[in-house]
Structures are given as structure tokens and as C-alpha cells.
Amino acid sequence: MAVNVYSTNVTTDNLSRHDMLSWVNDCLRSQFTKIEELCTGAAYCQYMDMLFPGSVPMKRVKFRTNLEHEYIQNFKILQAAFKKMNVDKVIPVDKLIKGRFQDNFEFLQWFKKFFDANYDGREYDALEARSGIMLGQGAIQNELGMVQSPPSRIGGGVNVNTSKSSSQNSVTNQQIEELNSQISDMRLNFEGLEKERDFYFSKLRDIEILMVSRHQMKYRQKKRNIKVRRKVLLMLIESYCSCWAR
């Protein structure tokens, strides 16, 4: 189980934003360029995998995303890992996903202290653990530069960027796999929403049938009451008339 920490604004050594960012990039082999990029929650999920192996389903973590609902999904995974390891920290998801510096910096400060209290020094290959997916805005910029730069050629037209091309193909394959995974998740979410819609529709239909049935019963009861009243009235009239006839 985890060692809980309760420090709020101050972390050990009062590290600056640049120091904290360097710590993240060194640990995770990432290329974050600013604190705000941690708003996706992916880095924290990997930190939990580093601290407590098996506490996070790494294949479900969205490492390359700019979609807010996927940020939320990552933080849900993180919160589940916290619960599993008895970490009693409440994650301010609504604030973090907005990507504001102060909120993300304060949470990172707390997490650094939490990490220091729980890390046992074991070796961990962060890049391999996330299947080689590059992490951080710097990685994206490097990929874009690699795609946009023209290949250098020597003499008889030999391409000297073959290694870059190979790396580019590898990145492209990873992106395709990630997109396929996202499509699969979206399809599952869509199917779940369809089932939920059908369920509530059937319940509404049952309620409608029940209300119509009750209305019809009331209508029939009202008609029977009118008939009874008429019979009673006719009986009274007949009795009255027979009395006068005598």
C-alpha cells in the first residue's frame, strides 16, 4: 500500500517549474515543454505504474490525445489506481483538465512529494512500458520536423535519411495503432450509449402504457358510475310515480 503525504503548496527543495519539468522528462523519457501539458493525466498514470506495478492498465491510458473527455478518462484510471493503493488524495479533475499552469503545478508538487515517499529505486523503462509512444509536445514537434524536412542526398542519389524514414514509419504505425484503439473505444462507448438509450426508452414506453391503461380504467369506471346513477334515479322516479298513482 502507498505512503500518503499531505503537503499542499511546498515540496522538498522548493523546485522550480523547470526543475519539475526536467524531473518528469527524465523519469518518463518524455518531452514535455511546459507544465500545462500534464493536464492529460497520462504522465501520472505512468508514474503510478512505476511506483506500483500492475496498479494501472497501461493499454487503456491515452498517451497522445488533445481531447478533454480522454483527459477525464485518464484521470479516472488514475483515481482507480489511487483507490486500489489506498491513496486518499482527491484529484481536482475539473481544474486540471483546463490546462491552467497553477492548478497543474500544485498537483505536480504534491505528486513529487508522493513519489519521493513511495519510490523504491527499482529500474523502469518508461518508453517500453508505454509501447514506445512518444510523450509531450516536444516529441510531436520533432516528428513534424522530421516529416517536413526534405531528405538529403549524396552523389548518385543515395538517401542518407533512411534511418529517419524507418523511424518515421515506426511512428506512423504507432499512431495508426493508437487511432485504431481510440476508434475501438469510441465504438464501445457508442454501443453502450445505444443500449442505455434503448433501456430508458423501453421504461418510458412501459410508463406510457401504464398511464394509458389507468386512464382507460378510470374512464370505464366513470361510465359505470354514470350508469348506476341513472338506474338509481330511474328507480326513484318509478317509486315516486307509483306512490302518486295510488
User: Model confidence over 38-64: pLDDT tens digits?
Assistant: 999 999 999 999 999 999 999 999 999
Contacts of 21 (CB under 8 A, 6+ apart): 32, 33, 34, 35
- For range 190-200, the mean pLDDT: 76
Domain ranges of the chain: 17-136, 179-245
Closest CA relative to residue 44, chosen from 29, 31, 56, 26: 56
Report the pLDDT value the prediction gives residue 144, as an integer from 0 to 100.
45
pLDDT band, very low/low/confident/very high, at 7 (cuts 50, 70, 90): low
Mean pLDDT score across all residues of the chain: 82
pLDDT band, very low/low/confident/very high, at 185 (cuts 50, 70, 90): low
Q: How far is CA 190 from CA 177, 193, 194, 195, in A?
A: 20, 5, 6, 9
Three-state DSSP state, 16:
coil
Q: Name the more confident of 244 and 47.
A: 47
Cβ contacts of 8-16, under 8 Å, gap ≥ 24: 8/106, 8/110, 9/106, 9/109, 10/109, 11/109, 11/110, 11/112, 11/113, 12/112, 12/113, 12/116, 15/109, 15/112
Q: Rounded to two decimals, what is the model's pTM?
A: 0.57
Reply yes or no on whether the pLDDT at 159 is more than 70: no
From the candidate CATH numbers 1.10.418.10, 3.20.20.220, 1.10.10.10, 3.30.56.10, the one assigned to the domain spanning 17-136 = 1.10.418.10
Task: Please name the amino acid found at residue 246.
Answer: R
Closest CA relative to residue 7, chosen from 128, 129, 111, 125: 111
pLDDT band, very low/low/confident/very high, at 231 (cuts 50, 70, 90): confident
- For range 75-94, the mean pLDDT: 96
Reply yes or no on whether the pLDDT at 33 is more than 90: yes
Report the pLDDT value the prediction gives residue 204, as an integer from 0 to 100.
85
Contacts of 174 (CB under 8 A, 6+ apart): 131, 132, 133
pLDDT band, very low/low/confident/very high, at 140 (cuts 50, 70, 90): low
Q: Which regions of 79-236 does DSSP assign to beta strands (E)?
A: 153-154, 158-159
Report the pLDDT value the prediction gives residue 1, as an integer from 0 to 100.
87
Q: Name the more confident of 20 and 205.
A: 20
Report the pLDDT value the prediction gives residue 218, as an integer from 0 to 100.
81
pLDDT band, very low/low/confident/very high, at 206 (cuts 50, 70, 90): confident
Least confident of 44-53, 151-160, 228-237: 151-160
> Using CA atoms, how far apart are residues 203 and 209, in angstroms rounded to an integer?
10
The CA-based angle 97-176-46, given to 5 degrees, is: 40
| One-character DSSP codes across 181-219 | HHHHHHHHHHHHHHHHHHHHHHHHHHHHHHHHHHHHHHH
Where residue 87 falls (left for φ over 0; alpha for ψ -120 to 50; beta otherwise) is beta
Reply yes or no on whether the pLDDT at 168 is more than 80: no
